[in-house]
């Protein structure tokens, strides 16, 4: 079997998530990795050996990695506000890439990236993993099959314990910069993309409140976001995102989609989807026995990336313009909470 040689750009948290995913994909092999920081090479080498593979070459110069003939495609996992120059190098080298989301910290940055990629004929796919997560795919399938009639109202809640985020991103990390929105763009953008995809509709307006919490015991920042989004198809979508509570509360993701025929789709964690029907007491359930790279969609997403963008067997189902729209929704959370205004989308 011909394997696509993958180069990793960035060796932090998401590079590990993608490595777990790619390690189980027969068509792909991670052959090279780049980080400016040699100490990250050492740490990543320990991690990859534990996972059962070794990276052939580590680079501190991105251009050198992109000249490596073994590198057919790149996974770029660099924080949004630093990603554009790296993406530009990848485009200049003509390598197809998955760019983690948000691909830039501004919508204009995503437009520039898309324009440059088009000019150079390079395919880029943004990493919007929730579209590939079994629980959300099943929910969309039930909505598309008209099991609940037209959706009326959606409630989505995603809580992550503060200590778990502190393990993911150490104090001092780019993500704890409150002036740049802290973790809010990263922790909300995947749901925003999922909402547009699931409803097949665009947002009209968004209102949000944000409560920040200094967490000196962890050296990080807690957040609690509540927001209401009105969609063009008249659906009201309410979100709650938080990382401001004790570890014993545990991780929790729940989604409830209520439809006009009285039925509802409920997602109770990434492993379980329930369809409540109008007949009293009748419900159907689906369980997904899934391991880490699958549960939030990363492995099926990376499989799709290899099949579509790298091998060209199909069109990617998610484009940079989707990433731009999702980013605008996440930025609207910050703007609405600062100004206490409803944000209208064009």
Ligand X SMILES: NC(=O)c1ccc[n+]([C@@H]2O[C@H](COP(=O)([O-])OP(=O)(O)OC[C@H]3O[C@@H](n4cnc5c(N)ncnc54)[C@H](O)[C@@H]3O)[C@@H](O)[C@H]2O)c1
Interface residues with ligand X (CB under 6 A) are 10-14, 35-37, 40, 77-80, 82, 100-101, 127, 129, 169, 173, 186, 296
d(CA 228, CA 239): 7
Is the alpha carbon torsion for 299, 300, 305, 311 positive or negative? positive
What minimum distance in Å lies between the beta carbon of 14 and ligand X? 3
Pairwise CA distance, residues 300 & 191, whole Å: 17
Closest distance of CB 321 from ligand X, Å: 17
| Cα–Cα distance measured from residue 311 to residue 125, given in angstroms and rounded to the nearest whole number | 13
Tell me how far, at minimum, the Cβ of 344 lies from ligand X, in Å.
26
Residue 35 Cβ vs ligand X, minimum distance, rounded to whole Å: 4
What burial class does residue 275 get, using C-beta atoms within 10 Å of its C-beta: 0-12 exposed, 13-18 middle, 19+ buried? buried
Centroid of chain to Cα 283: 30
Of 36 and 341, which has the nearer Cβ to ligand X?
36
- Alpha helices for 68-132 (secondary structure H): 80-92, 107-120
The smaller minimum CB distance to ligand X, of residues 173 and 201, is found at: 173
Q: Which residue is nearest to ligand X (CB)?
A: 12
Q: How far is the CB of 1 from ligand X (least distance, A)?
A: 27
The span from the CA of 92 to the CA of 111, in Å, is: 16
- Closer by beta carbon to ligand X, 37 or else 287: 37
Q: Which is nearer to ligand X, 222 or 270 (CB)?
A: 270
CA distances (Å), 158 to each of 27, 124, 242, 288, 298, in order?
33, 28, 7, 19, 18
**Separation of alpha carbons 331 and 344, rounded Å:** 12
Residue 37 or 53 having the CB closest to ligand X: 37
CB of residue 183 to ligand X, shortest distance in Å = 9
Closer residue to ligand X in complex, CB, 24/262: 24
């Amino acid at each position: 079997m011909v394997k696509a040689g993958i180069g990793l750009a960035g060796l932090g948290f998401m590079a590990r998530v993608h490595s777990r995913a790619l390690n189980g994909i027969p068509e792909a092999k991670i052959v090279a990795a780049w980080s400016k920081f040699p100490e990250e090479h050492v740490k990543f080498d320990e991690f990859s050996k534990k996972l059962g593979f070794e990276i052939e070459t580590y680079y501190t110069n991105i251009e050198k990695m992109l000249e490596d003939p073994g590198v057919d495609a790149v996974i770029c996992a660099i924080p949004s506000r630093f990603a554009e120059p790296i993406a530009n190098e990848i485009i200049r080298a003509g390598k197809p890439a998955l760019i983690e989301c948000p691909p830039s910290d501004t919508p204009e940055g995503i437009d520039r990236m898309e324009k440059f990629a088009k000019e150079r004929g390079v395919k880029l796919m943004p990493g919007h993993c929730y579209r590939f997560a079994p629980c959300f795919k099943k929910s969309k399938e039930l909505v598309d099959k008209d099991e609940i009639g037209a959706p009326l109202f959606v409630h989505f809640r995603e809580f992550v314990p503060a200590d778990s985020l502190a393990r993911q991103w150490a104090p001092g990390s780019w993500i704890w910069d409150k002036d740049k929105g802290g973790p809010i763009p990263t922790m909300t953008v995947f749901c925003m993309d999922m909402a547009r995809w699931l409803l097949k509709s665009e947002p009209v307006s968004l209102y949000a409140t944000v409560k920040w919490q200094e967490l000196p015991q962890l050296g990080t920042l807690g957040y609690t976001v509540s927001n209401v989004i009105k969609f063009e198809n008249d659906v009201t979508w309410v979100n709650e995102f938080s990382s401001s509570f004790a570890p014993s509360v545990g991780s929790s993701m729940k989604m409830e989609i209520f439809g006009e025929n009285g039925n509802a789709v409920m997602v109770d964690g990434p492993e379980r989807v329930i369809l409540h029907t109008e007949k009293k007491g009748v419900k159907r359930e689906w369980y997904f026995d899934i391991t880490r790279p699958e549960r939030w969609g990363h492995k099926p997403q990376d499989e799709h990336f290899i099949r579509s963008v790298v091998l060209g067997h199909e069109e990617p189902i998610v484009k940079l313009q989707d990433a731009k729209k999702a980013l605008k929704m996440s930025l609207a959370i910050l703007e609405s909470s600062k100004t206490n205004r409803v944000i209208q989308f064009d």
